[in-house]
């Protein structure tokens, strides 16, 4: 190898390591408060800290929901799907104020619309007997009344 090519190759390798060409993970993070979509419309506080590799594999993290005058629960992330400013996070409930919830699954849909001048959005879908392993992008969401979600993909 010539003495001119070696420094160029080394510089190129250093640049590739220092500045990733693609994101090393997708993430959905933040806390928001919204009004439930079903009567009696209780306030729900949702904290999410979910991550996966860029293709959605290796999902990890937690999502917790605290329903005003109702149940609270925490789930381990089972799937994450990010598409632009929208994301879906699936969980397996591992801790709950109602023991009947433990082991069940749920999908949560989130929209990071704060950069568009409107509130972020979120919706929890009905509990399922088994935790979801696939997270489709879902379209029904309600605006949050306070907080912020950040979706990185």
pLDDT in tens, 68-110: 878 899 999 999 999 999 999 999 999 999 999 999 999 999 9
Total of domains in the chain: 1
- Whether residue 70 is contained in a domain is answered as yes
- Whether residue 11 is contained in a domain is answered as no
The residue range of the domain holding 116 is 22-152
- Whether residue 67 is contained in a domain is answered as yes
In whole angstroms, give the CA distance from residue 71 to residue 99: 10
- pLDDT score recorded for residue 41: 78
- Whether residue 12 is contained in a domain is answered as no
Query: Within 13 Å and on the Cβ side, how many CA atoms surround 17?
Result: 6
- pLDDT score recorded for residue 23: 63
Mean pLDDT along residues 141-153: 92
This prediction has a pTM of: 0.81
- Whether residue 50 is contained in a domain is answered as yes
- Does position 131 have pLDDT exceeding 90, yes or no? yes
- Whether residue 17 is contained in a domain is answered as no
- Whether residue 7 is contained in a domain is answered as no
- Whether residue 5 is contained in a domain is answered as no
């Amino acid at each position: 190898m010539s003495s001119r090519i070696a420094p160029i190759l080394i510089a190129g390798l250093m640049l590739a390591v220092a500045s990733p060409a693609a994101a090393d993970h997708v993430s959905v993070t933040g806390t928001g408060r919204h009004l439930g979509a079903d009567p009696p419309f209780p306030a729900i506080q949702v904290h999410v800290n979910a991550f996966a590799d860029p293709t959605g594999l290796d999902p990890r993290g937690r999502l917790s929901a605290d329903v005003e005058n109702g149940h609270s629960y925490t789930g381990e992330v089972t799937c994450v799907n990010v598409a632009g400013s929208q994301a879906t996070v699936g969980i397996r409930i591992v801790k709950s104020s109602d023991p009947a919830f433990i082991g069940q699954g749920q999908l949560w849909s989130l929209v990071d619309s704060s950069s568009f001048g409107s509130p972020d959005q979120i919706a929890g879908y009905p509990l399922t007997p088994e935790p979801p392993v696939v997270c489709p992008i879902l379209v029904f969401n309600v605006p949050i009344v306070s907080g912020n979600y950040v979706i990185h993909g």
